[in-house]
Chains A and B, each alone.
Chain A
């Protein structure tokens, strides 16, 4: 177990292994998103109440799930970095933040657009909407804090602390619909019960969610590799690698 952690914590090892894994995640992600898009947009039946505007669910829910998962992953990476000083974890946390902000924005934007025909308003200070907006500010805060220091190490530590503290917002987002039931409806999917939707509606949604997760993994691997090269630019193995490549 320790050798496993030790290996993956080594930038050189991580660089070569992630290079092999990356194409698989891109391929699977592209396939899932293509199938999910076609199915969700053209083949899934229209909702009996909302008509076709419900098709926004196929981008809204995956983005919202992913945004929260990215924050948790980033906080976990920050914890690993702070406790064990594993630099790869900090590099991964660095590249996760912008995608997290993008996904949170996508969830908020698609929700606002969906709200117009469904709720008659694009925004309300509802608990779920507000806590998602806070998530966006947390992502932006982590990005800003990291770049606010002249020393990279100070920036990394400050961003890690904010990520670890900010994770408290995640259960608030999750339970906001049950604690303060104002506008946003409670979760459609629960692990404990079967979905309250016909199969031909939720299956494409599941496919989209998985596709979005694979997209996140692929993009994180790709950008962590760039981050490794940037931070290890003076290391012998990076120089050798750059001399080999033409």
Chain B
């Protein structure tokens, strides 16, 4: 341990504003990046599920929505 007490740790030998600003912004942005990725995935899946449900409950006259999806089932496009 490089500090004698918790308050000494917080004070960072007088460099507290610099150390905590740099670490704080880094932590904040990394946590926000993860939060954004989770939100993105959740919203997307909610949308796609709604779409899939619409398809199963109400089979549309296959001309209007997603005509290519039925044919493209096994095309392996790389």
Contact = CB atoms under 8 A, between A and B. Distances in A.
B6 to A, nearest CB: 10
B52 A243 contact: yes
Given A229-B44, A233-B48, A235-B72, A102 B77 contact: no
A223 interface: yes
Interface residues of A, number: 52
Interface residues of B, number: 41
Nearest to B71: A236
A246 to B, nearest CB: 8
A45 interface: yes
A102 B33 contact: yes
B23 A56 contact: yes
A21 interface: no
Interface in B19-54: 19, 21-23, 25-26, 29-30, 33-34, 37, 40-41, 44-45, 48-49, 51-53
Interface string B48-73: 11011101100000000010111011
Nearest to B6: A42
Contacts of B2: 42-46, 52
A41 B56 contact: no
Interface string A86-116: 1110000000001100100110011001101
Contacts of A55: 12, 15, 19, 23
A240 to B, nearest CB: 8
B30 A215 contact: yes
Contacts, number: 121
Nearest to B40: A226
B72 A113 contact: no
From DSSP, what is the main secondary structure of chain B's interface residues? Answer: helix
Given A87-B78, A235-B69, A245 B45 contact: yes
A97 to B, nearest CB: 12
Given A234-B66, A236-B74, A245-B49, 16 more contacts: A6-B76, A43-B2, A51-B14, A52-B12, A52-B19, A56-B22, A106-B25, A113-B22, A117-B15, A226-B41, A233-B48, A235-B72, A236-B69, A239-B55, A242-B52, A243-B53
Interface of A: 6, 9-11, 41-46, 51-53, 55-56, 59-60, 63, 84-88, 98-99, 102, 105-106, 109-110, 113-114, 116-117, 215, 219, 222-223, 225-226, 229-230, 233-239, 242-243, 245
24 contacts: A11-B77, A42-B1, A43-B1, A52-B14, A53-B12, A55-B19, A63-B26, A84-B78, A87-B77, A98-B33, A110-B25, A113-B22, A117-B15, A219-B37, A225-B41, A226-B41, A229-B44, A235-B69, A235-B72, A236-B72, A242-B51, A242-B52, A245-B45, A245-B49
Interface of B: 1-3, 9, 12-15, 18-19, 21-23, 25-26, 29-30, 33-34, 37, 40-41, 44-45, 48-49, 51-53, 55-56, 66, 68-70, 72-74, 76-78
